[in-house]
Amino acid sequence: MATEHPGYERFATEISSLFSARAPPFLYVTDPVSPRTTAVVVNSVLSSMARSDASSRVYHAQINAVACFNARILYDTVLNQLAGWQVEWDTACTNWAGDNEERWNENLDGFIHGLKTVHSFIGRENTAGSTKGKGKQIESDLVTDIRQIVLVIERAERLPDQMPDLLVPLTRLAELTRLDLSIVFVSDVPWEDIRPPFGASPDPYYVDVLALNKEDLLRRLGSTFHAVSSQSEHTNGADSYHPSLRPLYSQFLSVLVDSCSYVQDPNELQYIAAARWPGFVKPILDAHNDRVDEDVDMDGPDEPGLKPPSEHVRMRLIRIFKPSFKTALETLYPRLEHATSWAALNGPEENLLAKPANKTQPIPDPGEVEVDDGRIADLPRMSKFILVAAYLASTNPHTSDVRMFGRGVDEKKRKRRSHKPSAKSGTTKAPQRVLGPNTFPLDRLIAILGALLEENDVDQRLPAPEYLIPGEHTDMEIARVGIYNTIIELSDIGLFHRTSAAEKLDGPPTFKCGISYKMTSALAQQLDIPLNDLLWDPA
Amino acid sequence: MPSPPPSPTKRVTRATRKSDDFAGDIHSATPSPTKRVTRATAKASPAKPSPLKASSPVKRRPPRARTPSPVPDSESESRDASPPVASSSRRASSPAIPHPEECTSAPSAGVLEIPVPLLSPNKLAPQNCLDAQKREILRAIQNPPDVVDDEESANRIAHKQLSDLLKGTVVRGEGNSCLLLGPRGSGKTRILNQCISELSEPPIVLRLSGWSQQSDRLAMREIAYQLSQQTGRSFLAAADDDEAADEADDDEPNPFLDTTTVTTSLPPSAHLPALISTLPTLSRPTVVVLDAFDLFAQHPRQSLLYCLLDTAQSCRGGASSKGVAVIGLTTHVDTINLLEKRVKSRFSGRMLRTASPSQSQDWVELTRGILCSRIAELDETGDWQRQWEAGVHSFLQDKATIVVLKETFSVTKDVRVLARLLTSVATQLSPSAAFPTSAQLVSAAATQRSRPRFSMLHALPYPSLCLLIACVHASTAGHPIFTFEMLHEKVRDQIRLSASAPVEVNGGSIGMPQCPRTAFETLVAAKLFTPTAAPSASLGKEFVKFRAEVSREDVKRAVQTRGDINLTKWLTKATQ
């Protein structure tokens, strides 16, 4: 049983020995790294116990607190699973109702009655299955057999938020139902964080699961290769999960695990590996297919089997693909892109191995630059100015405006805040850019915009001889309706946040900037604005 | 009619009927004369007879396994028979503590390890014995034996008083009310169940719990349901014992039927006095058990308590009416002060107290009692029993064991903590280390007893740990409240600073982690960071203010456990 779960042998043994007799009524399994895998292990251990061992029968229901987001769904899911009831469309999706067509999902009491009924129902099911038509003596004899009901609740940290009233009764379910019942919470949050106040719940029996080390991780990941390759048929011989590729796969995994070493969740690593592996073996499969194509003239059916690649080829593949492991991690771990489309984008070129070694580039090409947020890519020029002005207005203190943007006689006067840490006061003020944007009134935004335009936009305007006084043209520009319109538009698409109520009439409307420093500096670069000179507290 | 109390000799039939009752939600109908029925009769009863079948293959094995090699067995017996005092047992247990594998290579070192390492062909027998013993221990843990033999102990007194009180209700038809007070895990429910099961005539038992019946209407509905189940049975049961459970609330001339069949709506609360006042008119006496009594006192106007206590008080013993007993179980010492005046005046004021074992020696005895629980069906395993008891004896002679037990006792007197410790010890037993050791108990104490608040920090992913260190530095710099951007900038600066020595794992540089936002959310989800204000739509996610729950010491310990040089350097570096 333990061998089915590489890396989790100890945990599986502990769970199975706990449930071999009378398990504690309440267990709490903490796995800070990969609670999903742990829950899978718990469930498969319990279901294998339900299948195999005759002396202690364990009937379990596994539910996810995310899916069961209210009490009724939870009750129904548990009872349906325990009774082995399939909810079907044809029967109007009715829930299991027992013999008396009762509803168990009314409230907690109903659920407890339902659990008791399902407990006796399971007993009768079994005896009906094993001893058909025999005397009642035997039946009642078998009913005394150990029947443990186990409820496994995944993502249990959701319970206090979603069903605060239900948390305590769930943890006390064994004493409320007076059955041989255990409840298992699986979560990445320790019990101390969700424990209800005043000791309302009994303390659980704790089981801690630690992160896998590298060997266990490799064993666990490698075992899926075997599972996949035994499922597929290998009809054409050129499958990326062909058994003979297994040594290569383990080497691939070892490199992958090293380069993604801060991800310890086997699920995540599996996701990345599954996205990368087909592209990784494609050159080998291509080469193999080429060979087959050449041979096919001579003898068709006698296809040469796929041979494990030589050490040289392995090293070459790993050298080519190693940079892409990191990009895979950076893109796929936060799910910035779908795995399939990522694999399609980062696939190797055709017949990579046929090319000479010095012509192959590592994947991806190092020259690639990351793409910016799509929202600012094709904004009009004035909108970009407005956004930069808004960032400045949100980040600089308003008292600094005259110093930063004023055009007095003495140009040298502009100076920024000094950066010396003051020795007296212990705390330095954190820069506004990390504390988040301040609100600013519309007038201030317009004024800063005027200053920006006057400094950076004058040269690119069409000649306008009707404006005689310096700055008159800019004043004209910033007074246009279009500017106000653009501001509203930008706040509609979320690059600004309007902080004052829309229906408010008195006073100027106030806003907050909604773009990051990175985005602003990209915009400033496009507009040729020296952003760092204009910031009160530059990075 | 309820079946008469069966004779104690017919063990199997009694057990089966009991579990049958329990399947049908009728717990108290048949009394059990056994002393060890505890906590819940239903829980206890299947445990006893079940091993008969549970390990029937085990039963036959030991003699068959022993016959081919009588010599080592007798040897082990003779050695074990020598006085199991500290010297021999220490010798036996000490090698088993640090190196359980070593014993297999050098079997002569561990006398008590004999069954497994020496008799390789006989592996099955000790293995089975061990498994059976483990099962028996786990069963005993859920159902701890009563070890305190003192006649004056609080639980004995409470048991006597309570059974007297219940007898008054059942036999003489009195109306009684009392409160069973005691800390958690001190045996309130167990004593009550014991008393109920010892009664000569099975009463109707209505069990309510403040945890599930959170309002009077729910409680009333539950009373109606349980009444119809139990009174229904009393009419039907004589005819057909087995199907009683399922057909209990069929067509019954029963005043409560309308309240149970209307499943979609709760009965109006005006029905409550009428429902409760019928209790004395039932055919059998009634015992109302209110678990978490203090929570019922928080219901508006305490009408349920008022009705129950009023009925109990005004109950006159006589031929026409049966007795009513209201038993409240609670841990709150001042529960009586929570009662309103009109409710308190109807309460008898009787309070029985239960207590946990009061001396640490009791715990040692309890441990011995649990660990040495006999495998009931294995009569032939005398050898195993002897060996096992010697092993347990040496385990309890070990100083480290006693220290852990005494420490635990001085922290909490809750027996359930001891139960958790012993569960952990029992699950760690394996054929290579068949007897409990103090090392196992120590490791059990580390995980089960007063757990450190942040024990798993070192298992966090690398970027999360970076963020934690950054937040330690932020709070040193005077910013206990931080945003994601602040931490992110610190991490970025640090990585830039250490660019000459980038993050290296297994010889390969992984460079700057690119997704600390996910890492940050991991920390928030793990409740290591808590937001200081409610989230608002106008504030970007990266600027939401958080406070760290972890202290510098926790992070320091985590980094030390992790043993990463870069992180250690960064943590110990002066804050900028």
Domain boundaries, chain A: 2-208, 214-359, 374-407+434-534
pLDDT of residue B39 exceeding 60, the answer is no
Whether B245 and A120 lie within 8 Å, measured CB to CB: yes
> Are A156 and A187 a contacting pair, CB within 8 Å?
yes
The CATH label, of 1.10.10, 1.10.3470, 3.40.1130, 2.20.28, for the domain at A374-407+434-534 is 1.10.10
The reply to whether residue A145 touches residue B54, judged by beta carbons under 8 angstroms, is yes
Distance from C-alpha of A431 to C-alpha of A374, rounded to nearest angstrom: 28
Type of residue found at B222: E
What whole-number distance in Å separates Cα of residue A168 and Cα of residue A171? 5
Q: What is the pLDDT of residues B123-168, one digit of tens each?
A: 446 677 788 888 888 888 887 777 666 667 788 889 999 999 999 8
Q: What is the pLDDT of residue B290?
A: 93
C-alpha to C-alpha distance for B222 and B139, rounded to whole angstroms: 30
Q: How far is CA B198 from CA A291, B5, B152, B176, B549, in A?
A: 86, 10, 21, 18, 52
pLDDT digits (tens, 9 = 90+) for B509-562: 445 555 567 778 778 877 788 888 877 766 777 788 888 888 888 888 888 888
- Neighbouring-strand partners of residue A184: A27, A152
Q: Is B100 on the interface with A (CB under 8 A)?
A: no
Q: Where are the beta strands (DSSP E) in B77-221?
A: 175-181, 204-209
Comparing alpha-carbon positions, the chain A residue that sits nearest to B507 is A258
Radius of gyration, CA atoms only, chain A:
33
Nearest to A426 among B454, B456, B478 (CB): B478
CA distance A30 to A209: 6
Question: A112: nearest CA in chain B?
Answer: B212
Question: What is the spatial distance between Cα B463 and Cα B470, in angstroms, rounded to a whole number?
Answer: 10
- Identity of the residue numbered B244: A
For range B244-262, the mean pLDDT:
43
Cβ neighbors of B258 (< 8 A, separation 6 or more) are none
Query: What pLDDT, on the 0 to 100 scale, is given for residue B228?
Result: 81
Distance CA A156, CA A175 (A): 20
Stretch A30-54: mean pLDDT? 83
Q: Find the residue in A nearest to B38 (Cα).
A: A178
Question: Which band of pLDDT confidence, cut at 50, 70 and 90, is reported for residue B74?
Answer: very low
| % of chain A surpassing 90 pLDDT | 13
Closest residue on chain B to A99 (Cα): B246
| CB nearest to A144's CB, from B15, B424, B514 | B15
Mean pLDDT of chain B: 71
Is residue B24 assigned to a domain? Answer: no
| Shared domain check, B98 and B64 | yes
Say yes or no for a CB contact (<8 Å) between A202 and B53: no
Tokens 């394996």: give the residue.
B430
Q: Which of A17, A99, A258 sits opposite B506 (nearest CB)?
A: A258
pLDDT band at residue A1, thresholds of 50, 70 and 90? low
Mean pLDDT in residue range A476-496: 88
More confident residue, A149 or A373: A149
Instruction: Please give the residue of chain A at the shortest CA–CA distance from B529.
Output: A193
Instruction: Compute CA A289 distance to the chain's CA centroid, rounded to the nearest angstrom.
Output: 38
Instruction: Specify the higher pLDDT residue, A354 or B229.
Output: B229
The CA distance from A316 to the nearest CA of chain B, in Å, is: 17
Structural contact between residues A229 and A246, judged by C-beta atoms closer than 8 angstroms: yes
Segment among A370-384, A411-425, A450-464, B336-350 with least mean pLDDT = A411-425
Q: Residue A341: CB partners within 8 Å, gap ≥ 6?
A: none
Residue A310: other Cβ atoms inside 10 A: 9
- Domain CATH code at residue B526: 1.10.10
Tell me the pLDDT band of A296, cut-offs 50, 70 and 90. Answer: low
Based on the domain organization, do B418 and B533 belong to the same domain? no
Name every chain A residue with its beta carbon within 8 A of the beta carbon of B506.
Answer: 258, 261
Lowest mean pLDDT among A173-182, A277-286, B166-175, B224-233: B224-233
- B31 in a structural domain: no
> Looking at the predicted structure, is the pLDDT value of residue B46 above 50?
no
Residue keyed to tokens 């038992």 = B205
Beta strands in A366-502 (DSSP E): 439-441, 496-498
State how far the Cα of B329 lies from the Cα of B188, in Å rounded to an integer: 7
Residue B10 has pLDDT above 50, yes or no: no
Residue B319: what are its φ and ψ, rounded to 5°? -70, -35
Whether A208 has its CB under 8 Å from any CB of chain B: the answer is yes
Q: Specify which of A474-488, A503-517, B429-443 reaches the highest per-range mean pLDDT.
A: A474-488
Contact, B315 vs B324, CB < 8 A? yes
Question: Which DSSP letter does residue A460 get?
Answer: G
Dist. CA A392–CA B232, nearest whole Å: 79
B459: which chain A residues are within 8 Å (Cβ-Cβ)? 32-33, 210-211, 264
Q: Note whether residue B100 is domain-resident.
A: yes
What's the CA gap between B93 and B83, in Å, rounded?
15
- Each residue of A304-349: pLDDT tens digit? 567 777 888 888 888 888 888 888 887 888 787 888 888 888 877 7
B348 and B365: one domain? no
Chain B residues in contact with A163 (beta carbon < 8 A): none
**Residue A138 forms contact with B (CB below 8 Å):** no
Other beta carbons within 10 angstroms of residue A101's beta carbon come to 7
Question: Under an 8 A CB cutoff, do B478 and A193 touch?
Answer: no
A145 and B50: CB-CB below 8 Å?
A: yes
Give a yes or no: residue B44 inside a domain.
no
Which H or E run contains B548? Answer: strand B546-548
Taking Cα atoms as reference points, which of A266, A486, A261 lies closest to residue A384? A486
**CB-CB: which of A165, A180, A516 is closest to B46?**
A180
Decide if A178 and B43 are in contact by the 8 Å CB cutoff: yes
**8 Å CB contact between B432 and B110:** no
Minimal Cα–Cα distance from B507 to chain A, Å? 9
Task: At A367, list the tokens.
Answer: 């020259």
**Helix, strand or coil, per DSSP, at residue B288:** strand
Residues B1-5 have a mean pLDDT of: 44
The backbone torsions φ and ψ at residue B547, rounded to the nearest 5 degrees and listed phi first, read: -125, 145
A186, pLDDT greater than 90: yes
CA distances from B308 to B166, B195, B302, B501 (A): 16, 21, 10, 75
With a cut of 80, say whether residue B461 has pLDDT above it: no
Q: Considering the domain boundaries, does residue B557 fall inside one? A: yes
Residues in B 5-44 with any Cβ partner in A closer than 8 A: 12, 15-17, 19-20, 22-25, 27, 39-40, 42-43
Whether chain B has a CB inside 8 Å of the CB on A485: the answer is no
The interface pTM score, or ipTM, of the predicted complex is 0.73
CA B126 to CA B147: how far, in whole Å? 28
Identify the CATH number of the domain in which residue B155 sits. 3.40.50.300
Task: Look up residue A107 and give its two tokens.
Answer: 């409230």
DSSP category for residue B279 = G
- Which runs of consecutive H residues, i.e. helices, occur in B352-433? 360-371, 382-397, 399-411, 415-428
- Do strands A181-187 and A26-30 pair parallel, antiparallel, or not at all (unpaired)? parallel
- Note the pTM of the prediction, 2 decimals: 0.74
Asked if residue A209 has pLDDT above 80, the reply is yes
B353, B385, B408 — which closes off a domain? B353
One domain for residues B310 and B240: yes
Distance, CA of B183 to CA of B200 (rounded, Å): 29
- Which residue range forms the structural domain that includes residue B335? 149-353
Q: Which residue has the higher pLDDT, A231 or B227?
A: B227
Same domain, B225 and B162: yes
Q: How many domains does chain B have?
A: 3
Which one is predicted more confidently, A65 or A55?
A65
| Res B303 pLDDT > 80 | yes
Residues 6+ apart with CB under 8 A from A44: A4, A5
Q: Are residues B128 and B162 in the same domain?
A: no
Q: How close, in Å, is residue B15 to chain A by CA atoms?
A: 8
CA dihedral A35, A38, A44, A47 (to 10 degrees): -80
Averaging pLDDT over each range in A393-407, B18-32, B244-258, which range is the top one? A393-407
DSSP class per residue in A466-498: T--STTHHHHHHHTSHHHHHHHHHHHHTTSEEE
Give me the pLDDT at residue A233, please.
64
- Residue that has been written with the tokens 């009872």 in this structure: A79
Q: Is the pLDDT of residue B45 over 50?
A: no
Interface of B with A in 409-468 (CB under 8 A): 416-417, 419-420, 423-424, 426-427, 430, 447-448, 451, 453-456, 459-463
- Give domain status of residue B38, yes or no: no
Residues contacting B553, CB < 8 A, separation 6+:
none
Residue A281 phi/psi, 5° resolution?
Answer: -90, -5
Scanning B39-68 for CB atoms below 8 A from A yields 39-40, 42-43, 45-47, 49-50, 53-55
List CB contacts of B247: < 8 A, sequence separation 6 or more.
Answer: B236, B240
- Write down which residue in B414, B448, B482 finishes a domain: B448
Residue B304 has pLDDT above 60, yes or no: yes
The alpha carbon of residue B276 is apart from the nearest alpha carbon of chain A, in Å, by 19
**Looking at residue B433, what DSSP letter applies?**
B
Enter the DSSP assignment of A32: S
Residue A215 sits at the chain B interface (C-beta within 8 Å): no
Q: Which pLDDT score is estimated for A64?
A: 92
Q: A425 pLDDT exceeds 60?
A: no
Residue A15: which residues within 8 A CB-CB, separation 6 or more? A41, A42, A45, A46, A207
pLDDT of A361 above 70:
no
Residue B72 has pLDDT above 60, yes or no: no
Q: What is the CA radius of gyration of chain B?
A: 31
Contact criterion met (CB < 8 Å) for A109 and B455? no
Token pair for residue A177? 């139902």
Residue B29 has pLDDT above 60, yes or no: no
For residue A28, pLDDT over 90 is answered with: yes
**CA-wise closest residue to B245 among B84, B399, B23, B71:** B23
* Cβ–Cβ below 8 Å for A113 and B225: yes
Do B278 and B330 fall into the same domain? yes
Stretch B390-416: mean pLDDT = 87
* Same fold for the pair A2-208 and A374-407+434-534: no
Calpha distance A39→A60 (Å, rounded): 13
Q: Describe the strand order of the beta sheet including B204-209 as a list of residue ranges.
A: B204-209, B286-291, B324-330, B175-181, B350-353
| CA-closest candidate to residue B190, choices A512, A80, A175, A301 | A175
Residue recorded with tokens 């445990």: B47
Least confident stretch, A175-184, B405-414, B434-443, B522-531: B522-531
Q: Is residue B159 part of a domain?
A: yes
**A vs B: CB pairs below 8 A:** 228
Closest CA to B548 of B491, B479, B450, B460: B479
As a whole number of angstroms, the longest Cα–Cα distance in chain A is 113
Q: Are residues B433 and B480 in the same domain?
A: no
What string of DSSP letters covers A317-332?
HHHHHHHHHHHHHHHH
Is CATH 3.40.50.300 the classification given to domain A2-208?
yes
Domain edge (last residue) among B337, B353, B369: B353
Q: Write down the pLDDT at residue B161.
A: 92
Q: In this predicted structure, what is the pLDDT of residue B170?
A: 87
Average pLDDT over residues A474-486: 88
| A267 interfaces chain B, CB cutoff of 8 Å | no
Q: What is the mean pLDDT of residues A16-43?
A: 87
Residues B29 and A320: their CA atoms lie apart, in Å, by 77
Over 70: is that where the pLDDT of B31 sits? Answer: no
| B3/A contact by beta carbon, under 8 A | no
Would you place residue A78 in the very low, low, confident or very high pLDDT band (cuts 50, 70, 90)?
very high
Residues A49, A212 contacting (CB under 8 angstroms): no
**Nearest CB neighbour to B184, from listed A100, A180, A199:** A199
